[in-house]
Amino acid sequence: MSREPNYEFQEWWNKQREKNHDFFTNDSNNANKGFLTVEIRSLNPDLTTEKDRSRSARQLSWICLLRFQQLANSLAWITNSFLLLLRTANRRISAADSPCDSSASRLYRIIKFFLVLVVLLLCVELVAYFKGWHFSPPSAASAEAAVELFYALWLEIRADYLAPPLQSLANVCIVLFLIQSMDRVLLMLGCLWIKIRRIKPTASMEYPMGRVETGNVDDYPMVLVQIPMCNEKEVYQQSIAAVCIMDWPKERMLVQVLDDSDELDAQNLIQAEVQKWHQKGVHILYRHRLIRSGYKAGNLKSAMSCDYIKNYEFVAIFDADFQPAPDFLKKTIPHFKGNDDLALVQARWAFVNKDENLLTRLQNINLSFHFEVEQQVNGVFINFFGFNGTAGVWRIKALEDCGGWLERTTVEDMDIAVRAHLCGWKFVYLNDVKCYCELPESYEAYKKQQYRWHSGPMQLFRLCFLDILHSKVNKAKKANLIFLFFLLRKLILPFYSFTLFCIILPLTIFLPEAELPAWVVCYVPGIMSVLNILPAPRSFPFIVPYLLFENTMSVTKFNAMISGLFRLGNSYEWIVTKKLGRSSEADLVAFENESDSSVTETTSFLRSSSDSGLEELSKLEVTSRRSVKTKRNRLYRMELTLAFILLSAAGRSLLSAQGMHFYFLLFQGISFLVVGLDLIGEQVS
């Protein structure tokens, strides 16, 4: 129990405290108590006061000077930052637009007109806000001033004529959004079922790991390995070395280096590298075309026309930046045994530079979902998926049966996969077989790559639509190709993401009679982002930047989709994705260690690979310096224009206190601004 308070003690203590206070403050009481009090008087009593006052004034002056210095430093920092921003902007304005920008001139003009319209609407709403018309809207009958009459008529026009069609378009996009979200959910459920049931393709036989003995090679089929490349001096050594040290009998494998380079120094270096490996006993050939027609498809088609191709049963294709593990063929070729209707075995991509910057981290999220979920689910349940163009092994008979490589699109890999599927061939995807490669680290390279990846499928859909309808496959496969493979995942996805979040959402802010629910703006996209990021769980801290960046990329994908569908701009031009050679030679040694093969032999190969071409490189050093283009960051006008549109809409939503919409528009506008200033990827000083 708590003790009761002692009120008598408190009263006594208060009295003693009052006495002591009077004792120290009253001089007369001090004298009566017998204490000696010494009083020191100044000759000039005002001197101390003036001194204190002068000291306070001096301190105040120092404080004022300090504040002034801080203000001057702040102004100088703001001025320097502004000048630095201007210099950076001036440096990042490139003289020539990239093909994906030049083909967007029509779309860019439409977006500029949309920006002017949004700014005018924002000015009108600001005037109405300061007039108080947001709280009591005027009517045309009671309007007194001309401005008030104009605003009243504007309210009637937007409610009767503008809002209904906008709401209808928003409803259509919402339905498409929900359909595409359901497709993602079904894919994730399929992937979960595969994980729970531990479903994976199994081969009828296995090759022993380790170096193959010379006398026991009859069980190994003849394999052709192709490495198409074009002016890729940064990565040619790594890819050629990785292929040449693969664990496969040398007499049962032929390597074709298909060089489409138009730079003389690149040709000489690649040819010298091929000659070096040929001297080591590897069956390797160098092929160079004088006329680069058909781009990669034309290069592969030309290589497959050689007479000796009839001696080979399978062909493995690797792009110039890919480094297969030494046991790649031993893990993929066995799946063809006993499966005469199997045309393709596709391996998974892995990335050596996925943590290089924010751009590569966001790409890793997208591609991890593509391989872990889309490719794996389609491969297990329907035995069909889009060929990724590299890190795959084809049965040569299947290539010949479906017509071979065609030069009609920029996605020759998807083209030949669709034609092989229509001919009845099956595909197998191996999620546990990885092939390391490099992600583009600059936004310019990534934008060009995405433009080609999203314009090509629309070209192909336009060309093969009738072939799908008239093919002999069943109706389920036809429906899957048309509605899921092409329309939903290649056309509807970029259409609704750009239209809904970059056009309709800002318009609904200025036309509040048309409403876009908060669950469409925030909740469903958030859930979809969580599902997309599950295959790459280490990337969960980047879920918000991923959501914003995907909406930012929608303008590039939408423009590419429209260009490919209607043959606009430079949709048929192929631009090689720039590589930086991030894959190190240590990666090849690690691959060799994982396969338990001879490390000594591999190390000697790699050391000799490092010395390859040094003499040629020194001879061509002057030529290389003259031919190398200066790298620099750029400004992207379309992204900047959309940034100003979204930020203007965010300002309008702030006036009407729409919290969810305001934050989404604000952060999405900042995302467009960051991308438009080219601040997301590699920075060139």
| CB-CB contact of 409 with 456 (8 Å) | yes
SS3 content of the chain, % helix, strand, coil (to 5): 65, 5, 30
Which residue among the candidates 260, 321, 327, 678 is catalytic per the annotation? 260
| CB-CB contact of 233 with 226 (8 Å) | no
Instruction: Please report which helix (H) or strand (E) contains residue 255, including its range.
Output: strand 253-259
The Cα 482–Cα 260 span in angstroms is 34
Which residue among the candidates 259, 413, 415, 678 is catalytic per the annotation? 413
- 467 catalytic per annotation: no
The Cα 150–Cα 136 span in angstroms is 15
Q: 685 CB contacts (<8 Å, ≥6 apart)? A: none
Q: In b/e form, how buried is each residue of 537-561, taking b as 16+ CB within 10 angstroms? A: eebeebeebbbbbbbbbbbbbbbbb
Write the DSSP string, 62-98: HHHHHHHHHHHHHHHHHHHHHHHHHHHHHHH--SS--
Q: Tell me the sheet residues that pair with 286.
A: 257
Write the DSSP string, 193-242: HHHHHT-----S--PPSSPPPTT--TTSPPEEEEEEESS-TTTHHHHHHH
Helix count and strand count (H, E) for the chain: 28, 7
The Cα 506–Cα 166 span in angstroms is 11
The Cα 568–Cα 462 span in angstroms is 13
Strands (E), 405-528: 426-437
- 22 catalytic per annotation: no
Question: Which residues participate in catalysis according to the annotation?
Answer: 260, 413
